[in-house]
């Protein structure tokens, strides 16, 4: 859709008004401006946001073309097979499902790669419209964001060096150094199991695994599918014990954004029903 700057600004303003009038409107209106409006506490602030949105639409030129249709996903692309870098591209299960959702919503998907523990704050602040990062639904996260229906299941597993005979599962972890990516459920669970002082936190699970291979830590606690990828690439590692728990992955949106939540849930529903999500999942996670 090619819009003149003026029309785009007007549309943005309308989108703002619609969202102020308690979330009326369609997918196209879920733009940065809408989220700004939702965050605006008073009418004055909201009006300021409209003006800002107009100015932005005017100064961004080309970008105005997509002003009504870009949806921004926050992720951390260090988590194969869920999301990872392939050259310049960010690929994996989540980007593919997100693309399918964006297609259903008639929006253009834009992916923002960031540290895992920056993702939820980016949704809270409205920098991203949604988070999709192999992200587990937890009570703690539910305090700051709303989760869609779940689209996948996972569990935590322990990786150790292949010749390790001491660690046979979570019960034998005491006093051992456990590594995880900062802010993940692996980090939180490790902290519960061995105490804060015995947990080493890394920017990515890749770094944690390197550290394990070098013998700097004794184990890494992480999600099952990425663990499988590491095991297939590192013969000097093995899994200790069985999967520890059950976790569910879902997409996070800004608290109270029921409009976007419903739209994404609708899309997930359809993509589950027609087999698209299974198909994407099977492509990246080969059956046993
Ligand atoms: N499922 C875990 C969690 O939610 C780990 C997710 C890590 N995701 C990533 N893209 N690095 O905490």
Per-block mean pLDDT, blocks of 10 residues, the chain (288 long): 46 45 37 41 50 46 52 98 97 98 97 98 98 98 98 98 96 96 98 97 98 98 98 98 97 98 98 98 86
Ligand 1: residue of 183, 185, 201, 204 to mutate (most ligand atoms within 8 A of CB) is 185
Q: Is 153-247 the same fold as 70-151+250-284?
A: yes
Boundaries of every domain in the chain:
5-67, 70-151+250-284, 153-247
Q: Is the CB of 223 under 6 A from ligand 1?
A: yes
pLDDT at 286: 78
CATH class belonging to 153-247: alpha beta
Distance 133 CA to ligand 1 centre (A): 6
Closest Cα partner for 36 from 15, 58, 64?
15
Measured from the CA of 187, which atom of ligand 1 is nearest?
Answer: 12
Instruction: Give me ligand 1 centre to Cα 126, in Å.
Output: 20
Using CA atoms, how far residue 269 sits from 73, 106, 151, 156, in Å, is 19, 16, 9, 26
Ligand 1 mean position to 136 CA, how many Å? 7
Q: Please tell me the distance between residue 185's alpha carbon and the centre of ligand 1 in angstroms.
A: 7
Check if 133 has its Cβ closer than 6 Å to any atom of ligand 1.
yes
- Is the distance from CB of 73 to CB of 129 less than 8 angstroms? yes
For 70-151+250-284, the fitting CATH number among 3.30.420.310, 3.40.50.450, 3.40.50.620, 3.40.190.10 is: 3.40.190.10
Q: What are the pLDDT digits (tens) for 178-199?
A: 999 999 999 999 999 999 999 9
């Amino acid at each position: 859709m090619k819009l003149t700057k003026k029309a785009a600004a007007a549309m943005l303003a309308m989108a703002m008004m619609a969202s102020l009038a308690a979330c009326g409107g369609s997918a196209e209106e879920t733009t940065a401006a809408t989220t700004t409006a939702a965050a605006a506490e008073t009418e004055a602030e909201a009006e300021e946001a409209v003006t800002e949105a107009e100015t932005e639409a005017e100064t961004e030129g080309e970008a105005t073309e997509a002003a009504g249709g870009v949806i921004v996903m926050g992720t951390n692309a260090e988590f194969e097979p869920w999301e990872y870098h392939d050259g310049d591209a960010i690929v994996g299960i989540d980007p593919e499902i997100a693309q399918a959702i964006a297609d259903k919503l008639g929006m253009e998907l834009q992916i923002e790669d960031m540290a895992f523990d920056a993702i939820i704050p980016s949704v809270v602040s409205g920098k991203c419209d949604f988070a999709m990062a192999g992200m587990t639904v937890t009570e703690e996260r539910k305090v700051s964001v709303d989760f869609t229906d779940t689209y996948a299941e996972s569990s935590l597993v322990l990786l150790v060096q292949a010749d390790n005979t001491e660690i046979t599962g979570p019960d034998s972890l005491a006093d051992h150094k456990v590594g995880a990516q900062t802010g993940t459920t692996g980090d939180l669970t490790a902290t519960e199991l061995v105490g804060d002082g015995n947990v080493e936190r890394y920017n990515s699970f890749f770094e944690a695994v390197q550290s394990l291979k070098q013998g700097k830590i004794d184990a890494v606690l992480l999600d099952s599918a990425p663990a499988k990828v590491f095991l297939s690439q590192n013969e000097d590692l093995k899994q200790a014990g069985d999967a520890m728990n059950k976790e569910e992955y879902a997409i996070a949106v800004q608290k109270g954004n029921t409009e976007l939540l419903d739209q994404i849930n609708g899309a997930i529903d359809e993509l589950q029903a027609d087999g698209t999500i299974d198909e994407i999942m099977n492509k990246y996670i080969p059956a046993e």
